[in-house]
Structure 1
Amino acid sequence: MANFKGHALPGSFFLLVGIWWSLKYSFRYLNQKGKSRKRNFYQKIEIIEAGIRLFFSIVGIFAEQFTPDGDGPKLHLYNDQDWIKLMNWQHTTMYLMYGFSAVMDILSYLIPVIPLGLDRLVMTLSIITEGILFYYHVHNRPPLDQHIHLFLLYPLFGGAISTFLEVFLRDNIVLELFRTSLIITHGSWFWQIGFVLYPPFGGPTWDETSHSNIMFITMCFCWHYMASMVIVAINFSLTYGLISRMKRSQQGEENIGIQKLPSSYNSQQALLHDTEED
């Protein structure tokens, strides 16, 4: 959708997934992810997450095809004269490919015969697909419109490389958190595009030919990525603090149990000693 809502919706989806990933990967890494007794728990979490991502994709497809204002293509691609709402169809294609990635994640955990790493490969292809779509999305548009949209390619390019490396380097926390920071930037930048090109509160429109605006947007993108790194660092720190507190609590309970054991044991010994004297 060529409006603020059309950019805020995918931006919200990417932000939610990115923030969740920053918590999930941090918790799994800090909470001894290699223990076999925890594998079933993490598999259930992965399946639920993939189901939510699939739901996001379906919502996005319906939002693009059947917009509330009735201006969507309604699954019609071509009429007797021309193509119908290709911008909506490009967004639909993006959601569809991410939906395939979510389905592959679910199948990878439900069907053991599927090779390990295939889910990450499909996710890589989904990211590349979005990059191809957006690269040709803004031709013949004003300079600022082209500039702000092409910044989406940077997190997509980095995300595609890091996700592809995860095909071979599974559960690598550095790659996972790097991908997480990029998807958070990706989501926040969708919101930035909406605010710049389609001011939601009736504010003044931006001069899309101003070089100063282009310079500011370039600087603004750097701020977005720095903010995403701060979010990942904060969530990692909060997770570390929570897990450390849980471990101290468990150790305290174990120590109390150990301290109680000798006193109980001594009472039993004294009772047996008295019985023998009688």
Structure 2
Amino acid sequence: MGTFAGHLIPGTIFLILSFWWTYSAWLRYFVCRQRKQSYHVSLTFPLQCCGRRVAALPIEALFIIISTGFGIATELSIGFHHRDGHISFYMGANSYQHIATYMMFFLVGIIDLLIHCRVPIPEHLSIVAVNVAFAAEAISFYFHGHGRSPIEVQLHVFLALAICASIICGTFEIIQREKQIYATLMRAYCTFLQGSWFYTVGFFLYSPFHAHYEDTKDPDEHRNSMLIAYYFVLHMAIGMCVLILFALPAYYMSKRNLQAIDSVSYERVPFVNNDDNEDNVNNHCTQMEKLNVMTNI
């Protein structure tokens, strides 16, 4: 990952997940509020905007598996090459850390896929798995800057802080007795910070638009340290704006002429168009009421 593209790949994965989690959490919140139902916590969400058949597919789990698999393949193909063209696995410790991180999230996708296939394991095990993956990522990047310049250390410390915040949010999703949307939104928000900060680190250290950081770095480390802290706070502000803005399309979708059926366990019931007859709609509502009773929500 010691390249510009190596930072853009995980950054893009985290940004896509954060956008999707934010929108889907808001949509579920508004649907549950309109139906006077309790909010339901889950790691992944069905893609309900493309019809019932698509909503029944584990799109998010497949995205995690494919994207992390692509990241692993990228690290294996270019992560061990040096500028002189030789391959050295001894000098590839940098890539070992990144491959291990990708592997942890790859396992998250596998667990979520098993849950979708109704393997008898606890549903919230996927949230536990993503917390463990975040913990592995935090350990990797906390020690990633060891022996480097103070600026590079600070860049990776801020990334580790965002990852630790994601772990805390995921923990609250599991332990809260009355399920609420706040922890899910904060998990999405902290994931956005990770993705956007990956982009910042990539542009700061390996940007193709200017000379390498080692050749152009400002000798005033205190000034750089203050600017980097300012950039991170700026990312926090942008992330909060994104969090609020995504509530608008989610609210609009919940108010459209659709009978929005939110998932209760992993039996996700997709949106029902108004073109369906009233008997079908009532049948879906009856199924939802039964599931609510069964799950004590």
TM-score (norm 1): 0.77
Rounded to whole Å, the distance in 2 between the matches of 1:69 and 1:112 is: 38
Question: Which one-letter code corresponds to 2:70 in the other structure?
Answer: V
Distance 1:50 1:178, change over 3 A: same
SS of aligned partner of 1:207: coil
TM-score (norm 2): 0.73
Aligned with 1:66 (options 77, 90, 95): 77
Question: Which one-letter code corresponds to 2:254 in the other structure?
Answer: I
1:175 aligns with 2:183: yes
**1:198 offset after TM fit, Å?**
1.4
Instruction: Identify the residue that residue 282 of structure 2 maps to in structure 1.
Output: none
Instruction: Identify the residue that residue 275 of structure 1 maps to in structure 2.
Output: none
Rounded to whole Å, the distance in 2 between the matches of 1:121 and 1:30 is: 26
Question: Which one-letter code corresponds to 1:13 in the other structure?
Answer: I
Distance 1:171 1:92, change over 3 A: farther
Q: Is contact 1:104–1:119 with CA below 8 Å preserved after alignment? A: yes
Instruction: Identify the residue that residue 235 of structure 1 maps to in structure 2.
Output: 246
Question: Which one-letter code corresponds to 2:8 in the other structure?
Answer: A
Q: Is contact 1:142–1:209 with CA below 8 Å preserved after alignment? A: no
Rounded to whole Å, the distance in 2 between the matches of 1:87 and 1:68 is: 8
Rounded to whole Å, the distance in 2 between the matches of 1:68 and 1:23 is: 34
Rounded to whole Å, the distance in 2 between the matches of 1:188 and 1:139 is: 22
Q: Residue by residue, what CA displacement relative to the aligned partner does 1:147-183 show, whole Å, maximum 9, x if unpaired?
A: 1111011111111011122223485311110000100
Structure with the higher fraction of residues in helix conformation: 1
Q: Is contact 1:57–1:98 with CA below 8 Å preserved after alignment? A: yes
Distance 1:45 1:176, change over 3 A: farther
1:27 aligns with 2:27: yes
1:109 aligns with 2:120: no
Structure 2 counterparts to residues 44-83 of structure 1, below 5 A: 44=55, 47-67=58-78, 70-71=81-82, 83=90
Rounded to whole Å, the distance in 2 between the matches of 1:180 and 1:114 is: 24
Rounded to whole Å, the distance in 2 between the matches of 1:48 and 1:160 is: 23
Question: Which one-letter code corresponds to 1:7 in the other structure?
Answer: H
Structure 2 counterparts to residues 115-130 of structure 1, below 5 A: 115-130=122-137
- Report percent identity of matched pairs: 27
Larger radius of gyration: 1
Instruction: Identify the residue that residue 18 of structure 2 maps to in structure 1.
Output: 18
1:207 aligns with 2:215: no
Structure 2 counterparts to residues 252-271 of structure 1, below 5 A: none
**1:206 offset after TM fit, Å?**
3.0
Structure 2 counterparts to residues 193-204 of structure 1, below 5 A: 193-203=201-211
**1:196 offset after TM fit, Å?**
1.0
Q: Is contact 1:25–1:176 with CA below 8 Å preserved after alignment? A: yes
Rounded to whole Å, the distance in 1 between the matches of 2:225 and 2:29 is: 40
1:188 aligns with 2:199: no
Q: Residue by residue, what CA displacement relative to the aligned partner does 1:221-266 show, whole Å, maximum 9, x if unpaired?
A: 0110111111111011221133224369xxxx89xx9xxxxxxxxx
Please tell me the root mean square deviation across aligned C-alpha atoms, in Å. Answer: 3.0
Q: Is contact 2:197–2:235 with CA below 8 Å preserved after alignment? A: yes
Question: Which one-letter code corresponds to 2:209 in the other structure?
Answer: F
* Structure 2 unpaired stretches of 5+: 39-44, 49-53, 260-273, 279-297
Which one is further off, 43-52 or 132-141?
A: 43-52
**1:28 offset after TM fit, Å?**
1.7
Question: Which one-letter code corresponds to 2:171 in the other structure?
Answer: F
Rounded to whole Å, the distance in 1 between the matches of 2:21 and 2:254 is: 17
Aligned with 1:86 (options 84, 93, 100): 93
SS of aligned partner of 2:218: coil
Rounded to whole Å, the distance in 1 between the matches of 2:239 and 2:12 is: 14
1:141 aligns with 2:148: yes
Rounded to whole Å, the distance in 2 between the matches of 1:3 and 1:168 is: 39
Q: Is contact 1:135–1:153 with CA below 8 Å preserved after alignment? A: yes
Rounded to whole Å, the distance in 2 between the matches of 1:46 and 1:90 is: 32
How many residues are treated as equivalent by the alignment? 241
